Structures are given as structure tokens and as C-alpha cells.
Amino acid sequence: MILNRLHSELERLSKSERRLAEVILADPQAVITASTAELARRASVSDPTVSRLCKSLGISGFPDFKVQLAQDLARNPSQVNPVISDGDDTRTCIDKLINANQAALEHLRNALQSDQVDMAVEALNRATRIEIFGMGASAAIAQDAQHKLFRLGTPACAYEDNLKQRMVAAAADSDSLILFISFTGETRATLEVARIARESGAFVLGITAPGSPLAQLCDITLTSGNALEDTTVYIPMATRIVILSVIDLLCTRLALRRQPQINDTLQKIKRSLHATRVRDSS
Amino acid sequence: MILNRLHSELERLSKSERRLAEVILADPQAVITASTAELARRASVSDPTVSRLCKSLGISGFPDFKVQLAQDLARNPSQVNPVISDGDDTRTCIDKLINANQAALEHLRNALQSDQVDMAVEALNRATRIEIFGMGASAAIAQDAQHKLFRLGTPACAYEDNLKQRMVAAAADSDSLILFISFTGETRATLEVARIARESGAFVLGITAPGSPLAQLCDITLTSGNALEDTTVYIPMATRIVILSVIDLLCTRLALRRQPQINDTLQKIKRSLHATRVRDSS
DNA sequence: GATTAGAATGTAATTTAATTACATTTTGAG
DNA sequence: CTCAAAATGTAATTAAATTACATTCTAATC
């Protein structure tokens, strides 16, 4: 999302460039039909400033900028200011929230690397036992993951309690896979458990912030959507949706991977999940 | 849709223009980064032909054409069949899954009625105690809801166990609000608990299928996204995202409602949730 | 089958838009 | 207060797109 980047980099920009950015943010729709000169005039800056701003965003030039912006606007039609403010009525809140969540998913689309996903699925497939660790807000997600994974044939269990996590991590072996769910990947307690997990020889899979201390300890890391934090559209919920979607993807791939012989595997998944939904009432 | 028009008017066009149109249709994505000259060369026609084609479509010129095309492509993300099938590679899976989830949110945007939301928030605000009931897959969601709600000042507790739910429902009074999370709203066990809840005089709020037996027992019902089931893009995960988003919306509104005196309430929410995320490690 | 009007297309010129190069101004450190 | 570095604007240049015009093709008529 170009507009998000513009907003989050407002600080970084110089006076004229910021003025320009503000004009763009104020009415993005108008930009896609404008020329360099028009836009420059509207922001009371010179033409080259427009080019420069594009360059500083890593875009080759203004025409390209327009095209990218057009695409973004098409995806998020109601690009209202994504930050919820006090005076917003309920309808506005609904729209902003949904926009933010959709944007989060769009972010995920780009952030996910299919080879990483493949490797994670391969590891999940090999494991004879799957342990899932999530604390605080991630505990609910871990529980959700357990629900999905253990239906796919491998014993899976979620642990919220740090002490239990330690014990489970210590008891794990190379047949185990331990899935860490941690938004920031910086919690001390979680890091210690991860170290224990490594020593035990288990495969360590992280859904966390790439580059974080926790990620360093993982065999494979998939994004927790932490990059969304820098974004104006950041809403705590958004990252949860990102993590849930990642887990969903892993389960879907694993299911496909495990039953390649049956042509319409997905029907099976669907049916099984459908049954789930009805029987135990989701 | 420019591409559709291009396709349907192929007949009408002259030889060179048709050749050009075919090249565009063959790889529209490539067009939005190309220049007139590039595109002309690829179709073995002259530069002006490109301009002419745009004009004959009623578009002012090639740059405008590119912008419109970019928007179209962004809106129809590669027209993939949304149902995941056996042969799909990982990338396709990712795209389909994200598309489905985005569509689910779009559905929610239309399904949510702001007056219903307002009434639910009002009820949440009045309650001195909030109980949250979810079974099976909804248990994780209930836990998540507890996490969010109890930070807003009212004691909130999630129960997965049906027996505990019965006891809590029986013990509730008119100061209590009981939130039922049930995708279908048809589970017998849940219905019985709901009846007990009504008798106790508690306010009964349901996130479930409108019109379902459970919904009949609720004072207010918000959608669980059940209508998505009928849709081709239906993916189990999608409804979970719908329910989570509904809960998120309720919490956001409640937070705004409770602290109207402070101008930038959201900053507070943000900060509080930010703190949450860091402190207890999400 | 030749001739010619009209459409289609390409070539070259022109215009327009965008970017680069350079000069001037502003900003902030010492 | 001075100076260096950054920021910004002006003017020149380049690149892109379009228009004007010439040529070629098409097909209808004699």
C-alpha cells in the first residue's frame, strides 16, 4: 500500500515532500488523473519535487506511481483515513475496521513466501507430534491451531502455561515439531523455551516477526504480520487475522499433501470441517 | 472492465488494432509497465496505433488506459477460481485463501447493521459481568473475546465446558450479559444453555446465524457469517475471521463509548493494546 | 481488370510531460 | 556568525505520446 508508506514516512520526508505527501493522502483519487505539474501546483511545490518523492519511495517515476496508486485504490475502494477516531460513528468504524483487516490480508499476500510455506508444511508432515506454544493473546490462537492440526492425523497440543511449555520442550525429540506463536518474538520467557526446544532436537517452527530473537532460534519462520505495526492502518486485530490465516494455510497445504492419492481431497477437508462445524457447534 | 470491452469489440476493430488488442489481452499485466513504443513493438504495429485504440475505446490516451487497466486488474485479482483444488501450487493456495478471507470481510461489511451493533454495545456497557460461551472451534474465539473485553473494565470470562456454562447461566442475573458464539446456532447443548440464560434474566447476545434457533433466544443477534456457507468462496476460516471481526468491532465501540471525555481515546486503546502486546508477549 | 474513394496504417514532426542538471536558498552544526 | 550540506526551485533536456500528413491497402464501380 503506497498510501500507508506515504503516511508512515511522513516524518522522514522534507518539508516540500511532506506537503506533497499530504496533498496526495488528502485526495488520492485525484492524483491518478493528474499530471506532475498539476499535482505540484496543488501542493505549491515544484515539478521535480514530485519526481523526487516517487524516487524516494523506490518507484521509478511519477507515471509508475500513478499506476501503483490506482491499483491500491482499486483494492481498497473506500480509502478513508484508516485510523479510528473519537467522533467516528458506528458505520465508519465498521468500514475502517474491515478495510484495515483487508489491507492486512493484502500485506500477507506479499509477505508470504511459498517456498518457506512448503518447507514448513514438509516439517509438519514429518513430525509425529506437534506442540503449539502461545502466551497471552496468542494463547487463543494456539488453541485454534491445535483444533485444526490434530484433525489432520498428527497429535497436536497447545500450551499456554510457561512452565508446561518448558517441560514439553525439554521432553521433545527430533520427531517433534514445536510451533511458536509470538507476535513480536521478543518475550524473554518464550525465548528461553525456544532455546530448550532447540537443545532437545525438535524442529522449531515460528510464526513471529522475521529477524526477531525468536526467529533466530527457529528452523523456519513465517511472518506474524509485525510489519503492519509501522502502518497507519495498524489495528491489533489485523495481526491476529494474519497469524490465523498463516495457520489456516499450513493446515490446508498439509491436508493436500497428506492425501495426494484422492483427487478431490478438498472435498474431504471441506466435509470434515463441515462435520466439525455442525457436530461440535463451533 | 476494459479487458471485457476489448474482447467483445475485437470484431469491430481493424487488423492492426485487433493484433494490438490480442497482445494486451494475452498479458495485461505487462501492459501497465510498458510504454506506447514497447507495446507497439510487441504487437508489430506502429506507435500511433496504440493511441488510436485507446481513443476508439473512449479513453483520452495511453497513460489513462494504463491507469484504468491497472485498476481493473487490481479489482479482479487474476480471476482465479476461488475453490482450492488438488493441483494448486502453494502460491495459488495463498492467493485463493486470502481472496476468500477478503471476500468474507466484504460480506461482513454489508451484513452488519450499525443500529444492531449500537444496541449490543449499549448492553455490553450496562452489564456488570460478561460471560462468554463458545464450544469446539468457537472456544478459541471465546477465549480471545475474554482477553479483549476484560481489559475494558468489566469482568469477562469465557467458558468452554458445557456444564460450567449451565451453572454460570443459571447463576446469572439481570446485570449479566451472556455472549453466545455459535456459527450455526443449532447445537442442542448450546440451545439449552441459552434457555437457562433467558430464565435467569441475563441479557443474551448472540454472534450466530440470524434466524437460527439460538438467534430466537437472543435479545440481539449479530451475524456469524453463516451466509458465506452458500458461497463458492466458502472456506471454514472465513467465518472465523468474520466472528473475530465482529468481536473486535464491539470492543472498539465499547472502548470509545466508555471514554468519551478523552479526545483521543483511540490513542489510549492503541497504547493499551500495544502494551498488552509487548508485556504479555501475545 | 483497372480505377478510385475511403479506410487503415505507418513515418515524421510536434507537442506535451517528466526528469535531469544546475543554481539558489534554507538549515543546522560548529 | 560561518560554512557545509541538504533541500528546493528554475531552466534545460530528454523521453513519451500524439497529431499531421503521406503512403498503402481494400473494395466497390465501371
Asked whether residue B168 carries a pLDDT value surpassing 80, the answer given is: yes
pLDDT at residue number A232? 43
Angle at CA B104, nearest 5°, toward B231 and B71? 100
Asked whether residue B216 carries a pLDDT value surpassing 90, the answer given is: yes
Residue B279: count other Cβ atoms within 10 Å of its Cβ.
10
Residue B88: count other Cβ atoms within 10 Å of its Cβ.
19
Q: Residue B208 pairs with which residues in a beta bridge?
A: B223
pLDDT at residue number A75? 67
Element (H, E) at A89: none
Are residues A265 and B86, on separate chains, in Cβ contact within 8 Å? yes
Which triple of cell numbers denotes residue B150? 476484560
pLDDT at residue number B177? 97
Closest CA to A181 of A134, A220, A129: A134
B251 or A83: which carries more pLDDT confidence? Answer: B251
pLDDT at residue number A235? 57
Asked whether residue B261 carries a pLDDT value surpassing 70, the answer given is: no
pLDDT at residue number B75? 66
Band (pLDDT 50/70/90 cuts) for residue A1 is confident
Band (pLDDT 50/70/90 cuts) for residue B267 is low
Band (pLDDT 50/70/90 cuts) for residue B193 is very high
Give pLDDT tens digits for A143-173: 989 988 877 778 899 999 999 999 999 999 9
B1 contacts on A by Cβ (under 8 Å): none
Asked whether residue B83 carries a pLDDT value surpassing 70, the answer given is: no
For A4, A29, A263, B115, the CA distances from A43, given in Å and listed in that order, are 19, 15, 58, 40
Contact of A193 with A175, CB cutoff 8 Å: no
pLDDT at residue number A207? 96
Find the range with the poorest average confidence among A66-75, A217-226, B16-25, B121-130: A66-75
Band (pLDDT 50/70/90 cuts) for residue A281 is very low
Band (pLDDT 50/70/90 cuts) for residue A263 is very low
Q: What is the pTM of this model?
A: 0.68
Band (pLDDT 50/70/90 cuts) for residue B82 is low
Q: Is the C-alpha dihedral spanning B169, B172, B174, B175 positive or negative?
A: negative
pLDDT at residue number B246? 94
Share of residues in chain B with pLDDT > 70 (%):
84
Closest CA to B282 of A109, A100, A180: A180
Are residues B140 and A144, on separate chains, in Cβ contact within 8 Å? yes
Residue to substitute from B39, B94, B242, B271, interface A, most A β-carbons within 10 A: B94
Q: Does B73 touch chain A (CB under 8 A)?
A: yes
pLDDT at residue number B235? 57
What's chain A's average pLDDT? 82
Q: Is the C-alpha dihedral spanning A148, A246, A82, A30 positive or negative?
A: negative
pLDDT at residue number A267? 54
Contact of A93 with B250, CB cutoff 8 Å: no
Give pLDDT tens digits for A133-142: 998 878 889 9
Band (pLDDT 50/70/90 cuts) for residue A83 is low
How far is A136 from B148, CA to CA, in rounded Å?
11
Find the range with the poorest average confidence among A60-64, B152-156, B194-198: B152-156
Closest CA to A97 of A108, A87, A85, A107: A85
Asked whether residue A188 carries a pLDDT value surpassing 50, the answer given is: yes
Q: Does A84 touch chain B (CB under 8 A)?
A: yes
Share of residues in chain A with pLDDT > 90 (%):
37
Nucleotides of chain D touched by protein CB (<7 A): 6-11, 16-20
What's chain B's average pLDDT? 82
pLDDT at residue number B159? 95
CB contacts under 8 A, B 96-155 vs A, are: 97-98, 101-102, 105-106, 108-109, 112, 114-115, 117-118, 135-141, 143-144, 147
Q: Which range, A74-83, A192-201, B147-156, B262-271, has the best average confidence (pLDDT)?
A: A192-201
Find the range with the poorest average confidence among A163-172, B80-89, B152-161: B80-89
pLDDT at residue number A70? 85
pLDDT at residue number B79? 43
Q: Answer for B191: CB within 7 Å of strand C.
A: no
pLDDT at residue number A236? 66
Q: Does B66 touch chain A (CB under 8 A)?
A: yes
For chain A, list the strands marked E by DSSP. 129-134, 156-159, 176-181, 203-208, 220-223
Asked whether residue B253 carries a pLDDT value surpassing 80, the answer given is: yes
Q: Residue B132 pairs with which residues in a beta bridge?
A: B158, B179
Q: What average pLDDT does the segment B42-53 reach?
A: 90
